[in-house]
A = this chain, B = another copy of it.
Amino acid sequence: MGERFEVAFEIRADSPAQAQARAEDITVEQTLEMSPALVADTITEAMAGRVQSLAPLQPGRHRAVVSFAVETTGGELTQFLNVLFGNISLKPGLRITDITWAPSLLKGFGGPGHGMPGLRAATGAGDRPLLCTALKPMGLSAGELAQRCEAFARGGIDIIKDDHGLADQPSAPFRERVERCQQAVTRANTATGGRSLYFPNVTSGPGELPARLAAAQEAGCRGVLLNAWVTGLATLSWIRERTGLMVMAHPALTGAYFGADHGITVDVLLGDLFRVAGADAVIYPNTGGRFGLSEQTCEALNHRLRRPLGALRPAAPVPAGGMDLDSIPHWARRYGPDTVFLVGGGLYTQGDLEAAARQFRDKATASYD
C-alpha cells in the first residue's frame, strides 16, 4: 500500500447524504476526473481519494476527511496543490481546514532552509523576539530608501525588508536599491556592532527572478522577500535549493482563499503550505490591525508554523499590518519569543526612524534581553 495524506474539509450540504455525495465527488474530481465506472478497478483503487470519515458540524455544514495517495502528486508541490484544491476551488462551499501530511511529502518538499533558528542565529538575537520593518513608500529613490535602511539598522531592527510593493519601479530600480540598501545596513552594522539584515523583494516572473536573486547575493544580502502566491508557491523551494537564501514570504493575493465557507483556512494556507514549501518566515495581518483576522486564527497560524512536523524546521510567524508600538509588549507576551514582529507605519509616524526603531526594540525585548 502506498503512502497517503489526509485533507479535512468543511462541506456545505443540506443533508448527510448530500455531504457524503460531495465528499465522494472530491475523491474523483481531484484525481481520476472521470467516472470510476469507466476506469479499471486497480487504477481507481490506486488513484482515487477515499472518504475516511464524515460527521455533521452544524446545520448545513459537515466535516469530511479525504485521503489521497501520495502517488497522485508525483512528489511535486505544484501537483500537490492541484490535488488539494485545483478543480474543487471552483465548487462552492468546500473549505480545507487541516492537512495530515505524509512523511515522504514533508521530506520531499523540505520546508524552511533556515527557519526561526536560522533567523535567530543570523541576527544574533539570543532568545528574544525579532524585529522587522518595511522600507517604504514606493516613489522614494534608492538613496532615500537606503537612508531609511541605515537608520533602522542603527536603531536595532533585525530584519529590514522592502515593502512588498517595491519591485523594479523607475523611482528605485531593483539593482541600485539592493546595492545601496545593503551597503547602508553594512555601514550601520559596522558602526553599532549589530547584525541587521536587509531582505529585498525579489518577486518577479521566472525570466527575471534568477537575476534578482543573483543581484541580492552579490550585494551581500542573506535573505529576500517573496510574494509567494504571486510567483507560485514552488518558487519558495526553488529559491531554497538554488540559493540558500532565507526567504520571508508575504501573503499578497491569498486573502481570497479565506472565505467563511469556501477556500483554505488561514492557518493551513499560510501556516502549513507556506512552511512546507520553504518559507523561513511568514508575514500575516495580525488581529486588531487594519485587517480582520481573529486572535484565534493568528494563534492557530503561529502554531502551524512552529509545530513539530516531520523533520521540518519551525518557521517564524511575522505578525504585521498596522500594529502600533504601544501594543508590542502585549503581543510579545502573547505570541512568545519565537516571533518576528513587523512594524512599518508605526515607526514612520515617529519621525526619527532610528529613535523609533530603538523604542520598538525596547518594547519588544524588555522581558528577554
> Given contacts A137-B39, A171-B71, are A83 and B165 in contact (CB under 8 A)?
yes
Residue A90 interfacial (CB < 8 Å): yes
- Taking a contact as CB atoms under 8 Å apart, the answer to whether B33 and A78 are in contact is no
Please report the C-alpha to C-alpha distance between residue A25 and residue B154 in the assembled complex, in whole angstroms. 32
Please report the C-alpha to C-alpha distance between residue A208 and residue B232 in the assembled complex, in whole angstroms. 13
The interface residues of chain B lying within 8 Å CB-to-CB of A290 are 29, 91
With CB as the reference atom, state the residue of chain B lying closest to A231: B232
A residues neighboring B (CB under 8 Å)? 29-35, 38-40, 42-44, 46-47, 71-79, 81-83, 85-92, 134, 136-140, 163-165, 167-171, 203-209, 227, 230-235, 237-238, 241-242, 251-259, 262-264, 285, 290-292, 344-345, 348-349
Most buried by B among A171, A234, A256, A262: A256
The interface residues of chain B lying within 8 Å CB-to-CB of A252 are 81-82, 86-87, 89
User: Within the complex, what minimum Cβ distance (angstroms) separates A11 from chain B?
Assistant: 15
User: Within the complex, what minimum Cβ distance (angstroms) separates A249 from chain B?
Assistant: 13
The interface residues of chain B lying within 8 Å CB-to-CB of A291 are 90-91
Please report the C-alpha to C-alpha distance between residue A31 and residue B164 in the assembled complex, in whole angstroms. 10
Please report the C-alpha to C-alpha distance between residue A82 and residue B169 in the assembled complex, in whole angstroms. 13
Please report the C-alpha to C-alpha distance between residue A196 and residue B24 in the assembled complex, in whole angstroms. 35
Listed by A's residue number, 13 A-B pairs whose Cβ atoms lie within 8 Å are A35-B345, A38-B345, A74-B169, A78-B230, A79-B203, A86-B164, A91-B292, A206-B234, A207-B238, A231-B234, A256-B257, A256-B262, A259-B262
User: Within the complex, what minimum Cβ distance (angstroms) separates A203 from chain B?
Assistant: 5
- Taking a contact as CB atoms under 8 Å apart, the answer to whether B32 and A137 are in contact is yes
Please report the C-alpha to C-alpha distance between residue A204 and residue B90 in the assembled complex, in whole angstroms. 21
The interface residues of chain B lying within 8 Å CB-to-CB of A237 are 205, 207
Q: Which of B71, B81, B209, B348 contacts A206 (CB 8 A)?
A: B209
Please report the C-alpha to C-alpha distance between residue A214 and residue B213 in the assembled complex, in whole angstroms. 24
Please report the C-alpha to C-alpha distance between residue A196 and residue B26 in the assembled complex, in whole angstroms. 32
The interface residues of chain B lying within 8 Å CB-to-CB of A242 are 207
User: Within the complex, what minimum Cβ distance (angstroms) separates A94 from chain B?
Assistant: 9
A77-B205, A82-B165, A204-B234 known, 11 other contacts, Cβ within 8 Å: A38-B348, A42-B139, A43-B140, A47-B138, A82-B203, A86-B164, A86-B165, A88-B255, A91-B255, A205-B232, A231-B234
- Taking a contact as CB atoms under 8 Å apart, the answer to whether A139 and B33 are in contact is no
User: Within the complex, what minimum Cβ distance (angstroms) separates A246 from chain B?
Assistant: 18
- Taking a contact as CB atoms under 8 Å apart, the answer to whether B204 and A76 are in contact is yes
Most buried by B among A235, A241, A285: A235
User: Within the complex, what minimum Cβ distance (angstroms) separates A170 from chain B?
Assistant: 7
Please report the C-alpha to C-alpha distance between residue A263 and residue B257 in the assembled complex, in whole angstroms. 9
Please report the C-alpha to C-alpha distance between residue A120 and residue B349 in the assembled complex, in whole angstroms. 58
Please report the C-alpha to C-alpha distance between residue A167 and residue B79 in the assembled complex, in whole angstroms. 7
The interface residues of chain B lying within 8 Å CB-to-CB of A77 are 205
- Taking a contact as CB atoms under 8 Å apart, the answer to whether A78 and B231 are in contact is yes
The interface residues of chain B lying within 8 Å CB-to-CB of A171 are 46, 71
